[in-house]
Chains A and B, each alone.
Chain A
Amino acid sequence: MTTPSNLIASDLRSAPMKKKRLTLQQRRNITGYIFILPFILGFLFWFLIPALVAAYLTFQKWNLISPPQYIGLDNIARLFSDPLLLQSLKATFLYTFLSVPLGLAVSFFLATLINRQFPGIAIFRTIFYLPSIVPAIANALIWAWMFNTEFGLINVIIRAFGGAKVPWLQSTSWAIPAFVVLSLWSAGGAMIIFLAGLQGIPDIYYEAAEIDGAGRWAKFRNVTLPLMSPIIFFNLVLGFINTFQVFTVPYLITNGTGGPENSTLFLVMYIYRTGFRSQNMGYAAALSWVLFIILTIMSYVIFRYLGSRVYYENPGE
């Protein structure tokens, strides 16, 4: 990003230095690496080394207390005959495939609602964003109470309209839909990013479309959607990765059990339970690799098949 003026200015500064040993580029390299050194060290300590430890643990049996014991491929073999892993994958995929598209639709819808200027709009933006800043534990308590079968607000409303009580968190078939509803409450995070994108679309595009006789739908379809596609893509990828790793709220609501009958035992909950409750660090590491491999494959698929359909205004930027 160095502009020519930058080069000239730097050259001017270095010109009078007589005993210079380093070229401009060498000095730049040194300064650059000093600036990013904290990140490089952090990456080594908290990412690369842990990843190597995870690789090592996969071949060990270890309960944190007695020394690790080499067991070869036992942990990996166990992955293929583990009914709980299968159950947790089923729950995680179901939750992800319901929650991500619905979440994108709701957050985009909210963003279009608040993308206008009138007095008081800030209040609506704040209200829509508010659920996203609520701590996970508060979120869990609020929604455990909202979904309470006898006295929760959701069932109160359903009954007021003449429906029957739904045993949300007690039923193996309703627990995941309940968590999806819960996740939609926090659509504000993605909404803000969409709003930023919508505000970045210059008015002239809409004006040009109007001159061409475009109606509301045509403008949305041919101006808004293509220009927003990089941001939709960004939210899709981040939403997918975060949703697939759902942990805290279901963990708290179900008291760590993943109940009823493991129907909400999401993958990360299963990893946590294996590592920290059953004290089986080796198998927990093996399960972590399952998570990593699935996310890598899914991200590849998303980038490969959807990434190519994203419209970029300035290619190569």
Chain B
Amino acid sequence: MATIDQFAEEAVLKTQAKRKQVYQNGDRFWNSLNAGLLILMAIVMLLPFIWLVSSSLKSQNQIFSYPPQWIPDPIQWENYSKALSIKPFGLYLVNTLKIVVLNVVAVVFSSSFCAYGFARIRFWGRDFWFGIVMATLFLPYAILIVPQFIIFTRLGWVDTILPLTVPLFFGGGAFNIFLLRQFFRSIPEELADAARIDGCGEFGIYWRIMLPLAKPALITVAIFTFLNAWNDLLGPIIYLRSPANFTVAVGLASFRSTLDVSWDLQLAATTSVIVPIIILFFFTQRYFIKGIVMTGLKG
């Protein structure tokens, strides 16, 4: 038996090697086409960023010259200090971080808690409620803007960060529940059974076994939440009224509506807002993409 298996295995390996060789020789054209397209598309995707940074370092005169120079001469570094002193961006940053941290904590714990229930406990009505989760994923958020605003006004929460943070403690968003549920379902049940035999209850299993194992998926969810909170404009613009509560995004938006702020300063401020999240993304992108690929998003 063993010899037959070995023989079969060898044959498979041989065919695979052969296939690879054929693939490598015959597809040189396709590989170079792919590489060419990759580089072309990368340039297209990067051009707006390069144009942004280049413009943000130009003086007023240079910015309005044709044909444009790609490398500004002289480089106007002071655009940045000027742009960031027009509005109290330090204060805006603190306000934003408060919201971001609360959102990440809320989503990580709340959505994983609900996701565990949906993934691992067989209770009456589970499919119905999971159907509701999926329905809220597809529900147009726009129809809720006005009534939610009215509810938060009645609660006296307008001009505080409560409307932007409290709702996330309740479930943490349908997409995150869905993502984590898929992940929890892929963890072998035997691990939970072992814990049960040791006298661990469902809450213990969730807290001591599932959460640590789900770290990669939780990181994905945390980064998604961070980006959403950092980038959100509609929420803060509706609920934050006094300038002392503004977030970075609202501060930048108020640049756009103030007509006397010139293009060079607007673009310098824009670059300053983008750079932190690009850095964050570069350090976390492998978790990010892996997390999505791993949980296997399927319709």
Contacts and interface: CB of A to CB of B under 8 A. Distances in A.
Secondary structure call for the B interface: helix
Interface in B172-217: 172, 177, 185, 189-190, 192-193, 196-197, 199, 202, 206
Interface stretch (B1-9, B73-81, B269-277): B269-277
A284 B148 CA distance: 13
Interface string A1-27: 111011001101100000000000100
B233 A252 contact: yes
A213 to B, nearest CB: 13
Contacts of B256: 137, 140-141, 144, 252, 255
Chain B, interface size: which category? Answer: 35 or more
A138 B273 contact: yes
A45 B48 CA distance: 41
A5 B146 contact: no
Interface string A213-239: 000100000000000001101100110
B219 interface: no
Contacts of B249: 135-137
Given A113-B34, A285-B146, A32 B289 contact: no
A173 interface: no
A27 B274 CA distance: 50
Interface string A108-142: 00100110100000101111111101111110111
Contact of B145 (A146, A234, A275): A275
B171 A237 contact: no
Contacts of A70: none
A231 to B, nearest CB: 6
Central interface residue in B142, B148, B238, B267, by most chain A CB within 10 Å: B142
Contacts of B270: 137-138, 141-142
B151 A33 contact: no
Contacts, number: 284
Contacts of B273: 135, 137-138
A126 B282 contact: yes
B120 interface: yes
Interface string B101-127: 000000000100110111111111010
B193 A51 contact: no
A145 B263 contact: yes
Contacts of B123: 28-29, 31-33
Nearest to B257: A255
A160 B66 CA distance: 11
Given A39-B129, A126-B281, A141-B267, A185 B139 contact: no
Contacts of B133: 39
Interface of A: 1-3, 5-6, 9-10, 12-13, 25, 28-29, 31-36, 38-43, 45-47, 49-54, 57, 64, 110, 113-114, 116, 122, 124-131, 133-138, 140-146, 150-151, 153, 156, 160, 185, 192-193, 195-197, 199-200, 207, 210, 216, 230-231, 233-234, 237-238, 241, 244-245, 247-248, 252, 255, 267-268, 271-272, 275-276, 281, 284-285, 288-289, 291-292, 295, 299, 310
Given A32-B122, A36-B114, A247-B234, 18 more contacts: A2-B122, A2-B189, A29-B124, A42-B167, A51-B147, A64-B153, A125-B285, A133-B227, A136-B231, A136-B233, A137-B253, A137-B256, A141-B255, A233-B299, A234-B298, A245-B141, A252-B256, A291-B142
Q: Which 9 A-B pairs have the closest CB atoms?
A: A35-B117, A42-B170, A32-B123, A234-B299, A39-B171, A50-B147, A53-B147, A288-B143, A135-B231
30 contacts: A9-B193, A32-B122, A35-B113, A35-B118, A35-B206, A36-B114, A36-B117, A38-B172, A39-B170, A42-B167, A45-B170, A51-B147, A122-B286, A124-B42, A125-B285, A129-B285, A135-B233, A136-B233, A137-B249, A137-B270, A138-B274, A145-B51, A146-B48, A200-B296, A216-B30, A245-B141, A247-B142, A247-B234, A291-B142, A292-B143
Interface of B: 19, 30, 34, 37-38, 41-42, 45-49, 51-52, 55, 63-68, 110, 113-114, 116-124, 126, 129, 132-133, 136, 138-151, 153, 167, 169-172, 177, 185, 189-190, 192-193, 196-197, 199, 202, 206, 227, 230-231, 233-234, 238, 249, 252-253, 255-257, 263, 266-267, 270, 273-274, 277-278, 281-282, 285-286, 289, 292-293, 296-299
